[in-house]
Amino acid sequence: MTHAAMAPTDFSGELTERENRAEVCSLEALHVERRQLMPLYCALKALHGPANNWDKRRKCLLSAIKIRVRMSPAPSGKWTDAGVDDAAHADEQYVRFVDEGIATATQYAELDIRMTEISERIDDRRNGLFLYSAEAKLT
């Protein structure tokens, strides 16, 4: 079975002999950790990452709520633009959407840090194995 096809549960957690001698963490363990985070990380990155699709969705929701507000009876006879805007921003659905967006943006930031840390640990591992190999050649 190739590493790409290996399910996260197929990893036994044991270090290879070379990893054990070089006192580095297992590459496969790092890949398993990254694969477990990947589905949620990718979904959150698509929503809150560089393209910022969340803000596009927020604006669409706000526009739909404004239409609904304009179609409802105005508290003082006729809706003003400012009144529609205020009512749409205060709408329960919009407030809930923004709160969920803040929570998922925070989760994305935390996962982004974890993914960066895993990449750094892979780099450190590579450097550790390189140094171990260089030292072994000297002895």
**CA 69 to CA 84: how far, in whole Å?**
6
Concatenated DSSP letters for 68-125? HHHHSPPTTSS--HHHHHHHHHH-HHHHHHHHHHHHHHHHHHHHHHHHHHHHHHHHHH
The per-residue pLDDT for range 16-32, each reduced to its tens digit, is 665 555 556 777 788 88
Domain assignments of the chain as residue spans, ordered by start:
23-138
Q: In the structure, what pLDDT confidence band is assigned to residue 10 with cuts at 50, 70 and 90? A: low
pLDDT at 52 over 70: yes
Share of the chain above pLDDT 70, in %: 74
Q: What is the pLDDT of residue 6?
A: 44
How confident is the model over 86-127, as pLDDT tens digits?
999 999 999 999 999 999 999 999 999 999 998 888 887 777
Evaluated on CA atoms 38, 8, 117, 130, the torsion sign reads negative
